[in-house]
Amino acid sequence: MSETTTLEGFRAETRAWLEANCPPEMRQPTAGEDDICWGGRNARLGEPQRLWLQRMGERGWTVPTWPREYGGGGLSADEAAILAQEMRRLNCRSPLASFGIWMLGPALLKFGNEAQKREHLPKIARGEIRWCQGYSEPNAGSDLASLATRAEDCGDHFLVNGQKIWTSYADQADWIFCLVRTDSAANKHTGISFVLFDMASPGVSTKPITLISGKSPFCETFFDNVRVEKHNLVGQAGGGWDVAKYLLTHEREMIGAIGERAQKQPLGAMAVESLGRDATGRLDDPALRARIAEFEVDEAAFRALMQRFGEQARAKQAHGAFSSALKYYGAELNKRRQELIMSALGSGGLEWQGSAARDWLRSKANSIEGGTSEVQLNVIAKRILELPGA
Amino acid sequence: MTLLLNEEQSMLRDSARDFLRENAPVAQLRQLRDSHDPAGFAGPTWSAFAELGFAGVAVPEAHGGTGLGAVEIGVLMEQIGRHLSALPFLSSGVVAARLLQLAGSPEQQAAWLPRIARGEAIATLALDEGPKHRPEAIALRAEAHAGGWKLSGTKSFVPDGHVASLLLLAARTDDGVAIFAVPRDAAGVQVERTLMADAHNAARVLLLDVALPGDARLPAGDAALLQQALDFGRAAAAAESLGIADEVFERTLDYLKQRRQFGKLIGELQALQHRAATLYVDIELARAALSKALHALDSAPAQAAEAVAIAKAKCGSAATLAVQEGVQMHGGMGMTDQLDFGLFMKRVRVLQELYGDAGWQMDRLARLRGY
């Protein structure tokens, strides 16, 4: 049987399974953040959400390309692409949003030992444990490698002391993957280690930060003599920076794709709905119409670029630092989109109980979180363009 | 579908690059310009280009071409852009060939397509009448006359008009837009070469009571098929722009790694690093948008308008930024005629106007999307 026949067979089976198993409620567009399923010990899921997560988790299709022995679906890249297409066709919601899937999982697959993979990956796949990311500190933002949270070697365990900031959903997460300094004598990149621990451990506390959007997706996170067992060290002691950088490439792809995942109404149509047409049938705001068209050119080009990048990655032709280009442009594009939505909605978008103004304000963080746009441009200049200088 | 080149397409790119580097480099354009060459292109180079099958890449095999598609046109045009090759491929091998194939009668196709593929005849579309590309506002009238047609009016910015033996002329009739095959030597046709900033060929065409037989009209030639042929031209012009952007960016990047000021390489300066990185991303976006458009033209040309508008707008903007940054980052040397950046910049400016600039493409996108 040819490869194509096999793939078309897979498509037919997948379609049939999704039609039989995706609850009708899970084929409606998400109305807001509350509709997103993050899983975890404290998740409060509606019955359709719970069922959808359970069914997809059992097949490993929350993480289609991960190996089956770690709770994944064991699908090839082509099969995973077909699954995504068929899910889009039926408007299936993503069963699980997860930093474990997007960030920690790929890092564990590459750097984790066998016991760590078997312990953590299946729970990520089934949405049982919700993870947060302990990277930034008050004095280590763009210069992340200058982080100061200390992990003292106490024989069979570390004792962790310090503070993280901008920890997304730390107050709702079950476990944290965290960068700590294990060797203060070493230079700043080689003294860092990558550790995992339970957020319910004694000595961990979190404090949400209210943002300009009025929401609190980020926390300050404090560690006061937190005991971390040695077997929760990922990679070598002092080798955490390599894990951190690898994980960041995945985070960048995730943030870069934010505007695309949302699948909102096209901007031009939204503006026509809000502002109407002039006598010639054009959007009744010529300057805004031109800005939207310019945006839609760039948006379509960005989609094509993501498709191209995916194909290059599968053909092993992608540049390792290209995620920085996607992160940079995707973040800037989403900020433009939100500005244009505000212009299209006018005073109607300013009402604080609606979501437009909050989404607009939230988008300003896109070019800060996961490495600022300026940091991404530095990475492109140095690693892709190979321009000189430190 | 994949947006990456397959093996055959990569080989076509390599052979086109090798041929053009050797036979039609920027130096040849300079020589043609400085010697006031009456043809504006090198005949022997064009013949050799055709012999390798390049000129007929878009012509069906039945008519003596190689019958390849839009992706292959794009591959050739990118290389033409990189070398600023002065060849009548875009006008004749792409737009005119495609228009004849879409709308021409079997007799018109048999008479012209093989000669276009062999590079023996140059055909070109005469469309625009004012300073901007306005295919929806064609005013030149074709009046029914004694079983045939009579045409009067002016066409401007006709690529390769003065070396073409066939003009495909867009005119308005009582039943809408029509295309006429007008031999260059027909009575009443005056062609005046217009020397352009980019030293590539263009002409103004005057028609004074030009009488044509009834079968001069392309039977299927209407506004929709005209747009479809133009979309191949737009994507091809976008590819040429992208080729220029790549070439200029490579040269500029090299310069940033060699030029020293303030005791260091200027490529160490973050102000320039960030601008180079921004430009890099823009060029990659343009490349992806172009691949999308070329594949759309190959799979469903009548539905490719959006993708083509996006590609022409994005490649035009990226190339415009590339040549501007190229000149700026080379400082005073970038302004000299000795370096090639001015030539690249002039060609990008012409390619912007050809078949619709970024503003026109964006307006078209908005219309297609219903706002």
Read off the pLDDT of residues B327-367 as tens digits, 9 standing for 90 and up.
Answer: 999 999 999 999 999 999 999 999 999 999 999 999 999 99
Identify the pLDDT of residue A250. Answer: 81
Q: Which residues are CB-neighbours of B102 under 8 A, at least 6 positions away?
A: B220, B225, B228, B229
Is the torsion defined by CA of B294, B295, B296, B299 positive or negative?
Answer: positive
Contact state of A301 with B288 under an 8 Å Cβ cutoff: yes
* Residue B368 forms contact with A (CB below 8 Å): no
Q: Is pLDDT above 70 for B93?
A: yes
Identify the pLDDT of residue A261. Answer: 57
* Residue B268 forms contact with A (CB below 8 Å): yes
Chain A residue at shortest CA distance from B318: A298
pTM, full prediction: 0.91
* Residue B295 forms contact with A (CB below 8 Å): no
Q: Is pLDDT above 70 for A256?
A: no
* Distance from C-alpha of B321 to C-alpha of B341, rounded to nearest angstrom: 12
Q: Which residues are CB-neighbours of B260 under 8 A, at least 6 positions away?
A: B266
* Distance from C-alpha of A140 to C-alpha of A167, rounded to nearest angstrom: 13
Query: Which chain B residues have a beta carbon less than 8 Å from that of A315?
Result: 4
Q: Are strands B123-126 and A192-198 parallel, antiparallel or unpaired?
A: unpaired
Interface test with A, best of B285, B287, B369 (most A CBs within 10 A): B285
Q: Is pLDDT above 90 for A289?
A: yes
* Residue B362 forms contact with A (CB below 8 Å): yes
Mean pLDDT of chain B: 97
- pLDDT digit string, tens, across residues A177-234: 999 999 999 999 999 999 999 999 999 999 999 999 998 889 999 999 999 999 999 9
**Which among B274, B287, B361 is the nearest to A381, CB-wise?**
B274
Identify the pLDDT of residue B2. Answer: 82
Contact state of A268 with B281 under an 8 Å Cβ cutoff: no
A47 is catalytic: no
Query: Which chain A residues have a beta carbon less than 8 Å from that of B304?
Result: none
**Which among B3, B281, B365 is the nearest to A304, CB-wise?**
B3
* Distance from C-alpha of A334 to C-alpha of B18, rounded to nearest angstrom: 42
Contact between B328 and B346 (Cβ < 8 Å): no
Q: Which residues are CB-neighbours of B28 under 8 A, at least 6 positions away?
A: B42, B45, B85, B86
**Which among A298, A304, A376 is the nearest to B292, CB-wise?**
A304
Identify the pLDDT of residue A2. Answer: 67
**Which among A283, A300, A315 is the nearest to B289, CB-wise?**
A300
- pLDDT digit string, tens, across residues B40-76: 999 999 999 999 999 999 999 999 999 999 999 999 9
> Phi-psi category of B14—alpha, beta or left, where left has phi over 0 and alpha has psi -120 to 50?
alpha
* Helix B358-368, helix B305-329: angle, nearest 10: 150
Kindly state the average pLDDT of the residues B213-221: 96
Cross-strand partners of B52: none
* Helix B341-353, helix B223-256: angle, nearest 10: 160
* Distance from C-alpha of B345 to C-alpha of B341, rounded to nearest angstrom: 6
Give the pLDDT band (50/70/90) at residue B94.
Answer: very high
Contact state of B256 with A387 under an 8 Å Cβ cutoff: yes
SS3 of residue A186 by DSSP: coil
* Residue A273 forms contact with B (CB below 8 Å): no
Q: Is pLDDT above 60 for A263?
A: no
Residue of A86, A220, A251, A369 with catalytic role: A251
* Distance from C-alpha of B325 to C-alpha of B328, rounded to nearest angstrom: 5
Contact state of B366 with A377 under an 8 Å Cβ cutoff: no
Q: Is pLDDT above 60 for A152?
A: yes
Query: Which chain B residues have a beta carbon less than 8 Å from that of A382?
Result: 273
Cross-strand partners of A221: A164, A206
The region of weakest confidence among A248-257, B220-229, B290-299 is A248-257
Contact state of A305 with B285 under an 8 Å Cβ cutoff: yes
* Residue B253 forms contact with A (CB below 8 Å): yes
Contact state of A388 with B268 under an 8 Å Cβ cutoff: yes
Residue A174: DSSP 8-state = S
CA dist B136 to A117, A280, B127, B139, B177, Å? 63, 15, 10, 9, 9
**Which among B277, B361, B371 is the nearest to A268, CB-wise?**
B371
Q: Is pLDDT above 60 for B239?
A: yes
Decide which of 3.40.50.9100, 1.10.230.10, 3.40.50.12160, 1.10.540.10 is the CATH code for B7-122.
1.10.540.10
- pLDDT digit string, tens, across residues A156-175: 999 999 999 999 999 999 99
The region of weakest confidence among A25-34, B241-250, B357-366 is A25-34
Query: Which chain B residues have a beta carbon less than 8 Å from that of A372?
Result: none
Kindly state the average pLDDT of the residues B249-258: 98
- pLDDT digit string, tens, across residues A83-125: 998 999 999 999 999 999 999 999 999 999 999 999 999 999 9
Give the pLDDT band (50/70/90) at residue A34.
Answer: confident
Query: What are the residue ranges of helices labelled H in chain B?
Result: 7-23, 26-34, 43-51, 70-83, 97-103, 106-117, 223-256, 270-299, 305-329, 341-353, 358-368
Q: Is pLDDT above 80 for A236?
A: yes
SS3 of residue A51 by DSSP: helix
* Distance from C-alpha of A107 to C-alpha of A101, rounded to nearest angstrom: 10
* Residue B6 forms contact with A (CB below 8 Å): no
Give the number of other Cβ atoms within 10 Å of residue B39's Cβ: 16
Q: Which residues are CB-neighbours of A39 under 8 A, at least 6 positions away?
A: A53, A96, A98, A126, A127, A128, A129, A130
For chain A, domain boundaries:
3-97, 131-240, 257-384
Note the CATH architecture for domain A131-240. Answer: Beta Barrel (2.40)
Helix (H) or strand (E) holding B152: strand B148-159
* Residue B258 forms contact with A (CB below 8 Å): no
CATH class held by domain A3-97: mainly alpha
CATH topology agreement for domains A3-97 and A131-240 = no
Give the number of other Cβ atoms within 10 Å of residue B314's Cβ: 32
Contact between B76 and B129 (Cβ < 8 Å): no
| Fold adopted by A257-384 | Butyryl-CoA Dehydrogenase, subunit A; domain 3 (1.20.140)
SS3 of residue B46 by DSSP: helix
Identify the pLDDT of residue A31. Answer: 77
Interface test with A, best of B281, B312, B363 (most A CBs within 10 A): B281
* Distance from C-alpha of B127 to C-alpha of B138, rounded to nearest angstrom: 7
Q: Provide the CA B138 distance to its chain's centre, in angstroms.
A: 20
Asked if the ipTM is above 0.90, the reply is yes
Q: Please work out, in degrees rounded to the nearest 5, the angle formed at the alpha carbon of residue B18 by the alpha carbons of B12 and B21.
A: 130
Query: Which chain A residues have a beta carbon less than 8 Å from that of B273?
Result: 377-378, 381-382, 385, 387, 389
Contact state of B277 with A301 under an 8 Å Cβ cutoff: no
Mean pLDDT of chain A: 93
Does domain B124-216 match CATH 2.40.110.10? yes
Query: Which chain B residues have a beta carbon less than 8 Å from that of A277?
Result: 371
* Residue A236 forms contact with B (CB below 8 Å): no
Give the number of other Cβ atoms within 10 Å of residue A360's Cβ: 21
| Nearest to A166, CA basis, from A130, A126, A136 | A136
* Residue A339 forms contact with B (CB below 8 Å): no
* Residue B289 forms contact with A (CB below 8 Å): yes
CATH class held by domain B223-368: mainly alpha
For chain B, domain boundaries:
7-122, 124-216, 223-368
* Distance from C-alpha of B14 to C-alpha of B3, rounded to nearest angstrom: 18
